[in-house]
Structure 1
Amino acid sequence: MWKQIVSSYFSFTKKERTGIFILLILIVLFTLLPFLYPLFSKPKATNADDFKKEIAALKIQEQDTAHRYVQRNYNEDNEQPYNQPSEKNYYNKPSKGELFYFDPNTASAADWQRLGVREKTIATIQNYLAKGGHFYKPEDIGKIWGLHPDEVQRLQPYVQIAARENNIPAKNYNNPPFEKNKPAISMIDINTTDTSALIALPGIGSKLAQRIINFRDKLGGFYKVEQVGETFGLPDSTFQKIKTRLSAGSGNVKQFNINTATLDEMKAHPYLRYNIANAIVQYRAQHGNFSSVDEIKKIMTVTDEIYSKVAAYLTVQ
């Protein structure tokens, strides 16, 4: 049985055997072809002299390119200065001009040429003066379009600007500028002011102004200017700007009696809140009325910081 199965799969006709034989020959041929190819292909001869010439030409081209761009006058941001024109063939060549003292407001075209300034730049200067322009100080020549920084540095020590023709003395830039008398700044009493006066302060809008007033009412008044800085939502930078305009010198703040005040009355104060107000009431119930305000410091929850803030609002009478 097995012989019949094997013979049925491995028995071929004459044409099939011929096809298999040809297929095997082609497989072997294509497998060996990459190894046989070098035997039939001869490499081209390389001329070493031509190769050396090409390398030399590339080096010359690289040096020429570097020479064109390395001396371009760019700043640290890879941009040309605003007062320097963009020229394809600009190089930092030393000027051959003659140096002498000159007034840029009266110097002629010949004088500028003697100084080594280019013709286009001279035309720019004369056009500027013709339209009413004027140089007031030696540093002003640095604003001339087309006058490069190295030229400005070379010419500036030789600039001498005379007084103007209408007998107005030349400007003295060494003197401090004249300052107008500033109007006196009006002070704002933070215990009597309203929102309109606060809104006039820098950085204070209607919401912040109303918050300051509400905070003042809950406290019972401010006893020092620094308390305004505790207003919710008021940036410290804004408070530093306005505190010199504020004062807190109008009368005493509103006080309440810690021997008669209820828990609700005391906890409504921003500096007491519930835990401290409740401790004061419990201490009063156990030990009797307070004989002085500083007795509340015997309560553990009343720290020195809390006492220093709230003491101005408390009384025992």
Structure 2
Amino acid sequence: MFVPNKTLREFFDFSRRERTGIACLLILIVLIYCLPYGWGYLSEGRARSDTAGFHEAALAVDNMMRKDSAALARRRKNSYDSSRYRYRKYAFNRDHDRYRNGQYAYGRGRWHDARDSARYGYWSGYRKYERGRPYVSDSSRSIGRERSPGKTIPFRKPLLIDINAADSAQWERLPLIGPVLAQRIVRFRERLGGFHEVAQVGETYGLADSVFKKIQGMLVLGEVSLRKTDLNQTDEKSLADHPYINTKLARLIVRYRNNHGPFRHLNELRGIALVDDSIYRKLEKYLEVR
């Protein structure tokens, strides 16, 4: 026969050693749970005191740096500065010395060191120089390198390219022009028969407008010697090879010549339907009638 009370009693029946272990385990769980709260309470006062000390030290360092910067700014005087107020502050004769400084700067360009300013400008006179020397800093080392005695800076001529005479190597010297673009420009000029204006360079295939505008000031039109094509002696294939004449226009020109006879005047091209005013103005420089 099943007896529930007896089963529960046996289930919750622990030995003395088991009861001791369970009690220790419960105490350990409670201690672990309360440890963060206790640690925060114990360290709260010490953290506040350390933070306050850190802020005080930071403020002291900041004030010290500000004082040092202000003192350094008051003591240093760059000899390049010709401010009327600053020279009045150091009690210099600005009416006379300002004139001498202007004459020196006009003749030599810049001060090279503090001795130059003492000899020629605001610091003229040994007593003035000795009185104001602590306030002068020699910050012209780069200028001394630029104007060192016995060394001259070579004059660089501006880069100019003759559009009718330059080869691909010369075109590559221009900014943003690589070997491919240089060869295209030369090939376009040869097929065209030469350039008669600088703007024609911008018609090269693959040459962006932004690149052409950047190099346009470096291009010059030298001697113009255009190669002209005879309308009466050139076949259809040779006409179509010209950049301004496509295959359809070349076929119409040959057909017009076969139907009406040889061209007597260049204006007869206007009788062809595809030739408008803009195309005719381009072609008239490169075509002729013999």
Which letter maps to 2:71?
A: Q
1:126 to 71, 76, 80: 71
TM-score, length-scaled by structure 2: 0.52
Whether 2:261 is the aligned partner of 1:288: answer yes
Whether 2:195 is the aligned partner of 1:226: answer no
Whether 2:183 is the aligned partner of 1:210: answer yes
More helix by share: 2
Superposition deviation, residue 186 in structure 1: 4.6
Matched residues, number: 176
- RMSD between superposed Cα atoms in Å: 3.3
Deviations along 1:191-236, whole A, 9 cap, x unmatched?
Answer: 2211111111122111111110111111111111111000111111
Whether 2:214 is the aligned partner of 1:241: answer yes
The separation in 1 between residues aligned to 2:171 and 2:209, in whole angstroms, is: 16
Structure 2: runs of 5 or more not aligned: 1-57, 93-112, 123-152
Which letter maps to 1:203?
A: L
Secondary structure, in 3 states, of the residue corresponding to 2:285? helix
In the other structure, the counterpart of 1:97 is none
The alpha-carbon distance between structure 1 residues 127 and 209, as it changes in their structure 2 partners (threshold 3 A), is same
The alpha-carbon distance between structure 1 residues 127 and 186, as it changes in their structure 2 partners (threshold 3 A), is closer
The separation in 2 between residues aligned to 1:185 and 1:275, in whole angstroms, is: 44
The separation in 2 between residues aligned to 1:128 and 1:305, in whole angstroms, is: 69
**Structure 1 segments (4+ residues) deviating >6 Å:** none
Whether 2:230 is the aligned partner of 1:257: answer yes
The alpha-carbon distance between structure 1 residues 243 and 158, as it changes in their structure 2 partners (threshold 3 A), is closer
- Percent of residue pairs bearing the same amino acid type: 34
- Checking the alignment, whether the CA contact within 8 Å between 2:195 and 2:224 is kept in structure 1 is no
Superposition deviation, residue 127 in structure 1: 4.7
The separation in 1 between residues aligned to 2:65 and 2:79, in whole angstroms, is: 19
Superposition deviation, residue 281 in structure 1: 0.9
Superposition deviation, residue 274 in structure 1: 0.8
In the other structure, the counterpart of 1:104 is none
The separation in 2 between residues aligned to 1:225 and 1:124, in whole angstroms, is: 58
Secondary structure, in 3 states, of the residue corresponding to 1:234? coil
The alpha-carbon distance between structure 1 residues 241 and 124, as it changes in their structure 2 partners (threshold 3 A), is same
Structure 1: runs of 5 or more not aligned: 1-86, 89-117, 140-156, 171-179
The alpha-carbon distance between structure 1 residues 232 and 122, as it changes in their structure 2 partners (threshold 3 A), is same
Secondary structure, in 3 states, of the residue corresponding to 1:312? coil
The alpha-carbon distance between structure 1 residues 165 and 254, as it changes in their structure 2 partners (threshold 3 A), is closer
TM-score, length-scaled by structure 1: 0.48
Secondary structure, in 3 states, of the residue corresponding to 1:192? coil
Which letter maps to 2:258?
A: A
